[in-house]
Amino acid sequence: MSTRVVGVDLPEKVIQVCSFINSKMIANQEMTPSQFQCFLASQSSFLVVFEVCASAHYWHQQARYYSHEAKLISPYLVSVVRQNQKTDRNDAVVIVQAASLPDINFISGKTNIQQQLQSIVRLRELAVKQRTAAKNQLLGLLKEFNIRITGSGAQVLKATALVLEDATNGFSGPFRHALNTAREMYSYQCLAVSEYDLCLENTVKTYLIAKSS
């Protein structure tokens, strides 16, 4: 019985697909994403190996959807096995060669919902950093005028609103406008973190419901 292994390199614009049957290369060709989708849909089941990159988990899911055995391999292992110049064609060959080595630890593929959760976490992490930066800048600027504000996010927003309303602090109209813009940016980042928390909660609920059904 013949054994077919397909190595797939996923550069930016095209997909390099290298097919081996019984350890002999039979094809190594470029495909567009739509062509590769049709390729997966039209072929009988085989082992397909992807080098991990931004779109690898998506194509891993697609391959499994079309009943292929899909695996992910680390870029580091590909770089160790590679002997020729780094090109898309060479990398597709090397992916098959690396996957054929004994005792390979393949990388676990993420489901679509796991990808979504990871993406929301990353968005939240960025929002937290931006919230902290906006708060520190706002409070730092006010300290230069000997206005010291402490407390939680809500307390900072309330205190800065009072500063903006204070007609005795000598602030000009343009500076008040700039300060209010900084306050609104901080307020938006506070809201963004809360929204991402809600998105995470709802996505986890969806995941648990899907997992139990």
User: Hey, how many other C-beta atoms are within 10 angstroms of the C-beta on 211?
Assistant: 9
Looking at the structure, do residues 125 and 180 belong to the same domain, yes or no? yes
189 inside domain? yes
56 token code pair: 């690898």
C-alpha 49/C-alpha 110 separation (Å) is 15
Looking at the structure, do residues 133 and 200 belong to the same domain, yes or no? yes
Q: Residue 89 sits in which domain range?
A: 4-99
Looking at the structure, do residues 200 and 129 belong to the same domain, yes or no? yes
Q: pLDDT tens digits, residue range 95-109?
A: 999 999 998 899 999
Q: Residue 45 belongs to a domain with what CATH number?
A: 3.30.420.40
0.95 surpassed by pTM:
no
Q: Could you give the number of structural domains in the chain?
A: 2
Considering 72, 99, 126, which residue would you say is the last residue of a domain? 99
Looking at the structure, do residues 146 and 184 belong to the same domain, yes or no? yes
Looking at the structure, do residues 95 and 164 belong to the same domain, yes or no? no
104 inside domain? no
Looking at the structure, do residues 39 and 66 belong to the same domain, yes or no? yes
Mean pLDDT of 117-145: 96
Q: pLDDT tens digits, residue range 47-67?
A: 999 999 999 999 999 999 999
Helix (H) or strand (E) holding 202: helix 173-212
Looking at the structure, do residues 66 and 131 belong to the same domain, yes or no? no
C-alpha 40/C-alpha 34 separation (Å) is 10
Q: Burial letters for 164-190: b for 16+ Cβ neighbours within 10 Å, e otherwise? A: beeeeeebeeeebeebeebbebbbebb
Looking at the structure, do residues 116 and 207 belong to the same domain, yes or no? yes
Q: Among the listed ranges 80-89, 143-152, 179-188, which one has the minimum average pLDDT value?
A: 80-89
Looking at the structure, do residues 13 and 82 belong to the same domain, yes or no? yes
